[in-house]
Amino acid sequence: MANQTLGGEKLERTVRERIERGDSSFFVLVPMTPPHDESGWAGGFVAYEGMSGDEARAWFEQDGEHRRAQMEEARSLAERRLARMVQAIEEAGARAEGAVCDADPLDAVKKRLAESSYTEVIVSTLPERLSRWLKMDLPSRVARASSAPVTTIEADRTADV
C-alpha cells in the first residue's frame, strides 16, 4: 500500500528484493489522497482513528462540486501512480495488479485482506515528520488486521517524494 511514495527508490528497491527472492506477484493498493493534502500540506482531510470509509466520503462530499472535483483529481493522480508502479513491477519480471481505493487506508487494507491472502503487506509512507499514516500508527494497525507480516518503508523526503 502506498500513494505519494509510489515510484520512490526505497519502495522500488524493496519490491526488487522480493522479486529476486522469488515473489512473483504483487497487488498494489493506492488510497486516494486529496490533492491539497499531498506531501503533508496543512489543512484538509486527516484520517483519524476509527474513521470509516463512509465518513471519509462524507467529508469529500460536504462542499458539493468543489469536493467532487478534488475527489476526481485525487483519483486521477492515484490511478497514474498505480499504473506506473504496476508497469515497473512487470518490467522487473513479476505479475502486478492493483486498485485505487477510498482515502481511509486501514479500511481499504482490511477489505483487501478479507478478499485475498498475502505473504506480506508492504506499507510505504512519507517520512515520519510528514506522514499521517505513521501518526495514526497505520503499520501497527495493519499488522493487527493481517496474518501476514507487515513491512514499513519510510521514504526519504529528498530522494523518494
Q: What is the pLDDT of residue 98?
A: 95
pLDDT band with cut points at 50, 70 and 90 for residue 4 = confident
pTM of the model: 0.78
Q: Is 141's pLDDT higher than 90?
A: yes
- Report the alpha-carbon distance of residue 26 to residue 119 in Å, rounded: 10
Question: At how many degrees (to 10) do helices 105-115 and 138-145 cross?
Answer: 20
83, with CB counted inside 10 A (0-12, 13-18, 19+), is middle
Q: What is the pLDDT of residue 113?
A: 93
Q: Indicate the helix (H) or strand (E) that contains 134.
A: helix 132-135
138, with CB counted inside 10 A (0-12, 13-18, 19+), is buried
Q: What is the pLDDT of residue 160?
A: 46
Q: What is the pLDDT of residue 70?
A: 78
- 98 SS3 class: strand
Backbone angles phi, psi at 158, to 5 degrees: -75, -30
